[in-house]
Structure 1
Amino acid sequence: MPDAAYAPTERTVPSRARERAAYDRELVHAILDEGYVCHLGFVRDGAPVVLPTLYGRVGECLYVHGSTGSRPLRMAGSADPGLPVCLTVTHVDGLVLARSAFHHSINYRSVVVHGTARQVTDPDERTAALDALVDHVLPGRAEDSRRADAKELAATAVLRLDLEEVSAKVRTGGPNDEPEDVSLPYWSGVLPVSRSYGTPVPADDLDPAIPLPGYLTR
């Protein structure tokens, strides 16, 4: 059974606002499971590159996918030592409006993962990873869709990044105004930010006899 927290490292201890850092495994998983898009950073030809991409979590592994012709996925090929990466996920929970421009901020929850991404070649793990990518966006969808065929699988590469060097960072609460600014005539507080879903819009060519799946109504 894994420890309740990830061990801090030199790369996961922030230089500022250390009190906001957390290493609790349950908190990290919750932040990751709530998001859709991560930003995957790596070095290519000596220059930094950051790509937004979908991801999925299975236990202590994160999976991302892409075209087999993608350079970063080829760089992480199983025959190589892997691709050193930094993966981040962030949720914005509120806009923090202070009386001074300097103290404006946001309430957020974020996770940063450092490690080496490697291509997944085991067929069973690839299937589980691709299902996880679909279900991460919408739980239940993998079973309610056609799985990739041989041609699609041949064009798809999957990377695994183990959750080992991980940290979360969270900011909550209101603005931190200076005492001398409290009497200024400016509104101060928090504007909450939340995610919501609209009414599902069926495809133009959808058979009207096909009912709306339960996972969409939930």
Structure 2
Amino acid sequence: MPDTALPPDSYPVSERNKVRRLHERGRYDRASVHAILDAAMIAHIAYVIDGQPYCTPTAFWREGDTLYWHGSSASRMLRAQKGGLPVCLTVTHLDSLVLARCGFNHSVDYRSAMCFGTARILEDAAEKARALDAMIDRFYPGRAQELRQSTAQELKATTVIAMEIEEASGKVRSKGVADEEEDYALPIYAARYPVTLVIGAAEPCPRMPAGVPLPEGLQGFTPGRRLDALMLENQQKAYGGE
């Protein structure tokens, strides 16, 4: 897709992020890519160290065009990133199972995003502490100020990574059953089974003192609510339309 055909405010398209198969499902505009990212809590980070590929699942969050994640200071991936490491971050939402009338047309509805950039470690202590608070508030609005402050040793044991999104693409399938026209009359069961992650009922810690109320920022965590919808709502609370 040439740049002239891209919607306004899109990520540049190159050989690295271009959707090659079923290109009509590709999304390059920031609004589409960010919506896919912001509805997720977990990403997979792919990278290569000394010729060996790795892929690490981790919690992540977005601020503008910057992605953040954290991990143990003992992590192989994090140690390798001190000088900057090219990475690919991906998220996927499975939205439905699609049963068609032939094996070839069986599919899934999904939303996915792939982001490329160079990961760097946050070395500044104040920036690192701010980012960790931002992670808590991103997932659980207003919670950071209610918590015990992290100790120096806890902060030392945690590494925070930032990556500016250089290129990105999304890919979306949402059409359900799509058979060959001549197959629709076949007496074969075909259907779409929606799939969602939902919030369950809270299980309060048995050692929590009596009378501790549910914080205001957790009011959205109601049983049966879709996790992706809640994550989008919390992103909006944390960063507005950014």
**Please, what TM-score do these two structures have when normalized by structure 2?**
0.83
Structure 1 counterpart of 2:211: 209
Deviating beyond 6 angstroms after TM superposition, the runs of 4 or more aligned structure 1 residues are none
Structure 2 counterpart of 1:126: 128
Residue of 167, 170, 179 corresponding to 1:168: 170
Q: Kindly indicate whether residue 57 of structure 2 is the aligned counterpart of residue 52 of structure 1.
A: yes
- Equivalents in 2 of 1:29, 1:132: separation in Å? 17
Which stretch shifts more, 138-147 or 7-16? 138-147
Q: What is the aligned-residue RMSD (CA, Å)? A: 1.5
Q: Is the 8 A contact 1:91 1:108 kept in 2?
A: yes
Structure 2 counterpart of 1:112: 114
Structure 1 counterpart of 2:200: 198
Structure 2 counterpart of 1:189: 191
Identity of aligned residues (%): 46
Name the SS for the 2:34 alignment partner: helix
Residue of 63, 66, 81 corresponding to 2:68: 63
Distance apart, 1:177 and its partner CA:
0.8
Residue of 27, 39, 48 corresponding to 2:44: 39
Per-residue displacement from partner, 1:171-215 (whole Å, max 9, x unpaired)? 111222122321222222321122221221110100121111222
Distance apart, 1:25 and its partner CA:
0.8
Q: Is the 8 A contact 1:84 1:117 kept in 2?
A: yes
Amino acid across the alignment from 1:163: I
Q: Is the 8 A contact 2:105 2:178 kept in 1?
A: yes
- Equivalents in 2 of 1:170, 1:147: separation in Å? 41
Residue of 62, 69, 72 corresponding to 2:77: 72
Per-residue displacement from partner, 1:126-157 (whole Å, max 9, x unpaired)? 12221222233323322332232211111111
Q: Is the 8 A contact 2:17 2:167 kept in 1?
A: yes
- Equivalents in 2 of 1:129, 1:14: separation in Å? 32
Amino acid across the alignment from 1:122: D
Distance apart, 1:68 and its partner CA:
1.2
Per-residue displacement from partner, 1:102-137 (whole Å, max 9, x unpaired)? 211111111101111011112232122212222333
**Please, what TM-score do these two structures have when normalized by structure 1?**
0.92
Q: Kindly indicate whether residue 97 of structure 2 is the aligned counterpart of residue 92 of structure 1.
A: no
- Equivalents in 1 of 2:191, 2:145: separation in Å? 44
- Equivalents in 1 of 2:173, 2:69: separation in Å? 27
Structure 1 counterpart of 2:35: 30
Amino acid across the alignment from 1:186: I
Per-residue displacement from partner, 1:81-103 (whole Å, max 9, x unpaired)? x1111110111111111111221
Amino acid across the alignment from 2:145: E
Q: Is the 8 A contact 1:41 1:85 kept in 2?
A: yes
Residue of 179, 182, 198 corresponding to 2:181: 179
Amino acid across the alignment from 1:69: A
- Equivalents in 1 of 2:90, 2:149: separation in Å? 28
Distance apart, 1:7 and its partner CA:
1.3
Name the SS for the 1:55 alignment partner: strand
